[in-house]
Amino acid sequence: MNRHKEDENDKSGHEESKKKKTLQLLQRRLDDLISVSYARFYAYLFKDLPVCWRQLYTDASILKFSLLFLSWAGEGVRVSKESLLDDMVRTLDLALILAGAAGEKRGRGWIDRAFLLLEEVWRGSVNEITGPGIGEDAVETVDRRQPKRRRLSAETTPNPWNETPSFSTTEPFMPPVKHPVRRISAIPMEEFQTYLNKDRSPEPLVISGLIDEWPARTTHPWNKSAYLLSRTFDGRRLVPVEIGRSYVDEGWSQKIISFGEFLHEYIDTSLTPGPHSISSPERKPEKGNIKIAYLAQHQLLSQIPLLRSDILIPDLCYTLPPSHPTDPTQDQPELDSPQLNAWFGPPGTITPLHTDPYHNLLVQVVGRKYVRLYAPQETHRMRKRGKEGGVEMGNTSLVDVGVVEGWDVGDGDDYDEFREVPYQECILEPGDTLYIPVGWWHYVRGVSVSFSVSFWWN
């Protein structure tokens, strides 16, 4: 009888070993598919990349996630290694960041749902997904259609985030404002359309009071590390960041890191390092150096719908703005809906002098930013860049505004003529919205920890 049991145990062990080897082989094959498809990304500009390679990358990533989940769940959720959980999150987030999940109708909806369900399994219940008091709408946000306007009446229970620390408001440097942009209070859509139509070449406006009722400014505060971590799977979600002060600086680079690491390393160093906010010794700055990383022009709200539910698209984005005032060749095909990008970083981040291809509402949710703007009629004096490293940089100026004004180190002797060019400028306060008409050159500098959202439309 004992011999029979030993034979059964041997058979069971053999089957388990065979199953494990099969899963490992499948994962290697999927890793090969992911690697081969990603290699094709380098052969094209992303806009020209054949969709088949994005589809292959996305589909292989979803299958890899499924294999990892089988291994993870098979060992028991609570006792499995967190590194396996991190591998699953990384696999899906890279499919979103690098391949765009092959589009709305291909993999994005599946991936969004998988993230919510994975968190539900990990935490044990839906109500624990997003932290105290905000789990109620978690599942709703998987529906990526245009969100309905929410009733923003005062809640009967205290906001659970009120007692958590906010980001530092320290401002190492504040540029002076000599030529302020016109400032107005929240404007109805009809009046804004009239403003746009007035001379078909509108000027910038700072609009206050436009986003006072956003959850990101009230009940779901984006100025709190605890809240943002709760929306990013305890900081496990990955984000692409730019390393360095500005994308035209020498030594500038990009990398993909966890949101928790980004918060701890660059935004809120008071956070206790955890498994997803690791402060690695090799990344410690030398004494006197300041580390700067910028989550810049990233579709964060599309990647993480739980954050998307914290904002509303301003009605002003549904007006009909004029075409480019000086160069009709710059006009873009009409967008189906406004394009949203997030901008999140510490003090000292800089977006160099450049133009955008669309009209822009730059909304300041957290912190303060300095913005300087030059009219499109001054384009001939902006010293446009050309192709650099095979990348067209004609929308960016060679002029460093910080050097021109003496705020930053550099040779400013060649800027005498540029100093005569008229400009407008402003400090964006939390809750402010800056309207930047198409064609206007603008330089943006983070004064404090800053979180902004831009809305492009035409």
Chain segment 304-314, per-residue pLDDT in tens: 999 999 999 99
The region of weakest confidence among 15-19, 125-129, 393-397, 429-433 is 125-129
- Residues 386-392, mean pLDDT to the nearest whole number: 77
- If asked whether residues 226 and 374 sit together in one domain, one would say yes
Looking at the 3D structure of the chain, how many domains does it have?
Answer: 2
- If asked whether residues 296 and 402 sit together in one domain, one would say yes
Is 171 inside any structural domain?
Answer: no
Is 174 inside any structural domain?
Answer: no
The region of weakest confidence among 6-20, 196-210, 296-310, 361-375 is 6-20
Is 131 inside any structural domain?
Answer: no
- If asked whether residues 231 and 333 sit together in one domain, one would say yes
What tens digit of pLDDT does each residue of 391-437 get? Answer: 788 899 999 999 999 999 888 788 889 999 999 999 999 999 999 99
Q: 349 with 296: CB under 8 angstroms? A: yes
- If asked whether residues 109 and 190 sit together in one domain, one would say no
DSSP of 286-339: PTT----EEEEEE-HHHH-HHHHTT----GGGGS-----SS-GGG--PPPSS-E
- If asked whether residues 117 and 210 sit together in one domain, one would say no
Where is 184: in which H helix or E strand? Answer: strand 183-185
> What residue numbers bound the domain in which 50 lies?
2-124
Answer yes or no: is pLDDT of 135 > 80.
no
Is 247 inside any structural domain?
Answer: yes
- Give the Cα separation of 158 and 170 in Å (integer): 28
pLDDT attached to residue 279: 37
- Residues 76-87, mean pLDDT to the nearest whole number: 72
Where is 353: in which H helix or E strand? Answer: strand 350-354
State the virtual CA torsion across 369, 374, 375, 378 in degrees, nearest 10: -160
Is 406 inside any structural domain?
Answer: yes
Considering only residues 80 and 21, tell me which one the structure prediction assigns the higher pLDDT.
21
- If asked whether residues 89 and 205 sit together in one domain, one would say no
Spacing of C-alpha 182 from chain mean position: 29
Answer yes or no: is pLDDT of 2 > 90.
no
Measured at the alpha carbon of residue 13, what is the angle toward residues 9 and 14, in degrees to the nearest 5?
A: 115
| Residue 408 belongs to domain with CATH number | 2.60.120.650
- If asked whether residues 308 and 434 sit together in one domain, one would say yes
- If asked whether residues 212 and 290 sit together in one domain, one would say yes
- Give the Cα separation of 273 and 287 in Å (integer): 20
Q: Domain ends where: 105, 124, 143?
A: 124
- If asked whether residues 94 and 196 sit together in one domain, one would say no
pLDDT attached to residue 21: 85
Is 222 inside any structural domain?
Answer: yes
What residues have CB less than 8 Å from 304, skipping those under 6 apart? 231, 232, 237
pLDDT attached to residue 285: 36
- If asked whether residues 244 and 118 sit together in one domain, one would say no
- Residues 321-341, mean pLDDT to the nearest whole number: 94
pTM for this predicted structure: 0.86
What tens digit of pLDDT does each residue of 229-245 get? Answer: 999 999 999 999 999 88
Answer yes or no: is pLDDT of 4 > 80.
no
* Residue 325 one-letter amino acid: P
- If asked whether residues 343 and 265 sit together in one domain, one would say yes
Q: Domain ends where: 124, 152, 175?
A: 124
Is 346 inside any structural domain?
Answer: yes
Where is 7: in which H helix or E strand? Answer: helix 2-41
What tens digit of pLDDT does each residue of 250-296 get? Answer: 888 999 999 999 999 999 877 765 544 433 333 333 333 468 999 99
- Give the Cα separation of 361 and 58 in Å (integer): 32
Determine whether 27 is exposed, middle or buried from the number of CB atoms within 10 Å of its CB (0-12, 13-18, 19+).
Answer: middle
- If asked whether residues 199 and 337 sit together in one domain, one would say yes
Q: Domain ends where: 91, 107, 124?
A: 124
pLDDT attached to residue 11: 61
Is 236 inside any structural domain?
Answer: yes
Q: 274 with 260: CB under 8 angstroms? A: yes
